[in-house]
Amino acid sequence: MKIIFITRTYPPIVGGMEKVSYEITTRISKLVPSYIIANRKGRKNLPFFLPYAFLKGLFLIVTKSVNVVHLSDAMLSPLGLALKYLTGRKVVTTVHALDVTHRNPLYQFIIPRCLKRLDKIISISDYTIEECVKRGVPREKCVFIPNGVNPDEFILNERDIREKLSKEIKVDLKKKKVLLSVGHLVKRKGFNWFIENVMCNLDKDVIYIIIGGYGNASKGDELQRYQELINRLELQNRVFLLGKTSDRILKLAYNSADLFIMPNIKVPGDAEGFGIVAIEASSIGLPVIASNLEGLKDAIKNGENGYLIEFNNANAFIKKVNELLRKNKLIGGLRKKAKEFTRKNYSWNKISRKYLMEFK
């Protein structure tokens, strides 16, 4: 068996889809002969990358006797469909969420029609399967394979980790309870909702750290909106926006925090396909409290690696945060359970072999 991987978003670009593409391609390449056609230069390079990927893919299929073509996401389905019709090869795509729910009318006219003609759809959550089926993709073509995590990637075997984080970010964490969120400052993440509706009602010793860039929005405008909200609520000493940080600070934060928060809200045309950061957190034993919404329902299992809370329910979030922070024995037991559960179910080695089985 020989495989071509075509991915429009790949490291050094940073993000969830990029991580999935990297892990799947590099691991499967060690198991079977594989060829990677990757865009490493961002969205601006797509007009050049797409025709290049089509021609390079066609060349490899003809000259290397490739059996299967894998597309990194649904947006590439027209390219994959053209290769399928021209060569007769099997074409598989991974579907994340926004790549199938994007609200542009022209996009919705083209992509689902191409998607349903491919040979197999690997969905990262049950939510994405349902979104595909709504758009005419046969359910029997869809298979659920979650995203994964490198179990040891975020573990730090050091002492005084919280003190080191405190020095790095210049925030006094002594005698504080630390809540952590990681992700772009985009509306669906619900960070601003959590600040306004939950943080104001937690004990004064609870602080909230947010790590992440600014998505597709203007950095200045987005940051200003958050900062105005924090100032209006007088939470300058309890809510800290770190922006995009180094891997070192991210690891320190994962290992220092008491709870990981994913307070997502519903946004038309946007969705959380899975939530890789949730299992990154739980892989080192950091319990997760997340909205019971979209793909998060496949990343978090109640009582195993965290808890799912009704989205937009501030009282439920407040109650669960307080319950866990005030019961050290409960949170200690959950830490061990979360770490074991995540490693057992979401390791990239296991996930990549599931992909390979579907290709075969």
Cβ pair 118, 81 in contact under 8 A: yes
At residue 160, φ and ψ (nearest 5 deg) are 55, 45
The residues, any chain, with a CB within 8 Å of residue 28's CB and separated by 6 or more, are 3, 5, 34, 352, 355, 356, 359
pLDDT at 217: 45
Q: Is 129 left (phi over 0), alpha (psi -120 to 50) or beta?
A: alpha
Q: What burial letters (b/e) apply to 278-315, b meaning 16+ CB within 10 Å? A: bbbbbbbbbbbbbbbbbbbbbbbbeebbbbbbebbbbe
Identify the CA nearest to 285 among candidates 191, 168, 164, 149: 149
Residues of the chain with pLDDT under 50: 216-220
42 vs 26: CA distance, rounded Å:
20
pLDDT at 168: 93
pLDDT at 329: 57
At residue 159, φ and ψ (nearest 5 deg) are -100, 160
Number of H helices, E strands in the chain: 15, 12
289 vs 42: CA distance, rounded Å:
32
Q: In what order do the strands lie in the sheet with 142-144?
A: 34-38, 3-7, 68-71, 90-95, 120-123, 142-144
At residue 43, φ and ψ (nearest 5 deg) are -65, -35
Q: What burial letters (b/e) apply to 156-192, b meaning 16+ CB within 10 Å? A: eeeeebbebbbeebebebeebbbbbbbbbbbbbbbbb
181 vs 71: CA distance, rounded Å:
30
pLDDT at 359: 96
Q: Count Cβ atoms below 10 Å from residue 37 Cβ, excluding itself.
A: 21
Q: Which residue has the tokens 């659920």?
A: 144
pTM: 0.86
Positive or negative, the CA dihedral 313, 318, 319, 321 is positive
Burial of 198 (0-12, 13-18, 19+ CB in 10 A): buried
Identify the CA nearest to 54 among candidates 74, 32, 69: 69
32 vs 66: CA distance, rounded Å:
11
pLDDT at 212: 86
Amino acid type, 138? P
Identify the CA nearest to 192 among candidates 169, 171, 212, 172: 212
Identify the CA nearest to 137 among candidates 83, 209, 81: 81
What the chain holds in terms of domains, given with CATH numbers, is: 3-145 (3.40.50.2000), 161-346 (3.40.50.2000)
